[in-house]
Amino acid sequence: MYTTINENGILNNYANEPKMYYATFPSQEQQIRYALGGAVAGLFVTAIILVALGVS
Protein backbone atom coordinates (compact mmCIF):
# COMPACT_ATOMS: atom_id res chain seq x y z
CA MET A 1 0.00 0.00 0.00
CA TYR A 2 1.30 3.44 -0.93
CA THR A 3 1.33 5.89 2.01
CA THR A 4 2.14 9.60 2.11
CA ILE A 5 2.48 12.02 5.02
CA ASN A 6 1.40 15.66 4.62
CA GLU A 7 2.91 18.70 6.39
CA ASN A 8 0.68 18.17 9.47
CA GLY A 9 1.85 14.57 9.90
CA ILE A 10 -1.43 13.06 8.74
CA LEU A 11 -1.14 9.75 6.88
CA ASN A 12 -2.89 9.26 3.56
CA ASN A 13 -3.14 5.64 2.33
CA TYR A 14 -3.73 4.77 -1.30
CA ALA A 15 -5.04 1.39 -2.45
CA ASN A 16 -3.15 -0.68 -5.01
CA GLU A 17 -4.56 -0.03 -8.46
CA PRO A 18 -5.35 -3.09 -10.58
CA LYS A 19 -3.69 -3.51 -13.96
CA MET A 20 -5.73 -2.15 -16.85
CA TYR A 21 -7.05 -4.39 -19.62
CA TYR A 22 -9.32 -3.88 -22.58
CA ALA A 23 -12.76 -5.45 -22.64
CA THR A 24 -13.54 -7.93 -25.38
CA PHE A 25 -16.64 -7.75 -27.52
CA PRO A 26 -19.26 -10.31 -26.40
CA SER A 27 -19.59 -13.45 -28.52
CA GLN A 28 -22.71 -14.21 -30.52
CA GLU A 29 -23.96 -16.55 -27.78
CA GLN A 30 -23.48 -13.88 -25.11
CA GLN A 31 -25.29 -11.31 -27.26
CA ILE A 32 -28.27 -13.64 -27.63
CA ARG A 33 -28.30 -14.24 -23.85
CA TYR A 34 -28.23 -10.48 -23.19
CA ALA A 35 -31.12 -9.95 -25.63
CA LEU A 36 -33.20 -12.72 -24.04
CA GLY A 37 -32.46 -11.38 -20.55
CA GLY A 38 -33.56 -7.91 -21.64
CA ALA A 39 -36.76 -9.29 -23.14
CA VAL A 40 -37.59 -11.23 -19.96
CA ALA A 41 -36.87 -8.15 -17.83
CA GLY A 42 -39.11 -6.05 -20.09
CA LEU A 43 -41.96 -8.53 -19.81
CA PHE A 44 -41.52 -8.66 -16.03
CA VAL A 45 -41.67 -4.86 -15.69
CA THR A 46 -44.67 -4.70 -18.02
CA ALA A 47 -46.48 -7.35 -15.96
CA ILE A 48 -45.79 -5.47 -12.74
CA ILE A 49 -47.14 -2.24 -14.20
CA LEU A 50 -50.25 -3.98 -15.52
CA VAL A 51 -50.91 -5.63 -12.17
CA ALA A 52 -50.46 -2.29 -10.39
CA LEU A 53 -52.91 -0.62 -12.77
CA GLY A 54 -55.39 -3.48 -12.42
CA VAL A 55 -55.30 -3.35 -8.62
CA SER A 56 -55.71 0.42 -8.37
Count of domains for the chain:
1
- Domain membership of residue 48 (yes or no) is yes
- Domain membership of residue 5 (yes or no) is no
1-56: pLDDT as tens digits: 677 777 888 888 877 788 999 999 999 999 999 999 999 999 999 999 999 999 98
- Domain membership of residue 38 (yes or no) is yes
- Domain membership of residue 30 (yes or no) is yes
The predicted structure's pLDDT at residue 1: 61
- Taking the C-alpha atoms of residue 45 and residue 53, their distance in angstroms, rounded to an integer, is 12
The predicted structure's pLDDT at residue 11: 82
Q: Which range marks the domain in which residue 35 is found?
A: 21-56
- Give the sign of the dihedral formed by CA 19, CA 20, CA 24, CA 30: positive
10-25: pLDDT as tens digits: 888 877 788 999 999 9
The predicted structure's pLDDT at residue 4: 79
- Domain membership of residue 12 (yes or no) is no
